[in-house]
C-alpha cells in the first residue's frame, strides 16, 4: 500500500496557551488497497493540527473511493472532518436532526467504512 500526501502552504503559529498549531492551505491524501481493488482520494481546502493531538481538522473535505476501473463507487463531501493519524482513519460527523449525530469512519488501511448514529 502506498500513501501519497501533498501539502501546500504550511503555516505554523504560536497560540496564547503556548500550544503550537499548524495550518495547511491544501491537503491531499491518496492510497490504494490492492486486495480490495479500491483507491481513495481525500482532498480538503484546509487542515489544522495542534501539538497535543494526533488529529488534523479538515475543512471542506471531499472523499472519492474508486474501484480498479477508476469508477467512483463512494463519494462523501463534508464541511468538516478529522484525520486521525494514530488510527489512520478519517472521521466525518453530521448533525442529521437536532439531537442526532451521524458519524462515518473510513479506515484507510483496508478502506472499511463504518457508520454510527448517536442520540
Residue ranges covered by each domain of the chain: 3-84
C-alpha cell at 52: 497535543
pTM for the full model? 0.79
Question: DSSP class of residue 70?
Answer: S
What distance in Å separates the CA atoms of residue 20 and residue 85, rounded to the nearest whole number?
A: 17
Place of cell 480498479: 68
Q: Report pLDDT digits (tens) over 43-98.
A: 999 999 877 778 899 999 999 999 988 898 999 999 899 999 999 999 999 888 88
- Report the alpha-carbon distance of residue 98 to residue 77 in Å, rounded: 20
Amino acid at each position: 500500500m502506498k500513501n501519497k500526501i501533498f501539502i501546500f502552504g504550511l503555516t505554523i503559529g504560536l497560540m496564547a496557551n503556548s500550544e503550537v498549531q499548524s495550518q495547511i492551505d491544501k491537503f491531499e491524501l491518496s492510497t490504494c488497497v490492492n486486495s480490495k481493488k479500491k483507491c481513495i482520494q481525500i482532498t480538503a481546502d484546509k487542515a489544522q493540527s495542534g501539538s497535543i493531538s494526533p488529529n488534523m481538522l479538515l475543512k471542506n473535505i471531499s472523499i472519492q473511493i474508486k474501484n480498479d476501473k477508476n469508477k467512483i463507487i463512494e463519494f462523501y463531501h463534508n464541511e468538516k472532518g478529522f484525520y486521525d493519524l494514530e488510527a489512520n482513519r478519517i472521521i466525518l460527523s453530521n448533525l442529521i436532526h437536532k439531537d442526532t449525530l451521524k458519524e462515518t469512519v473510513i479506515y484507510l488501511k483496508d478502506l472499511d467504512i463504518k457508520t454510527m448514529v448517536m442520540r
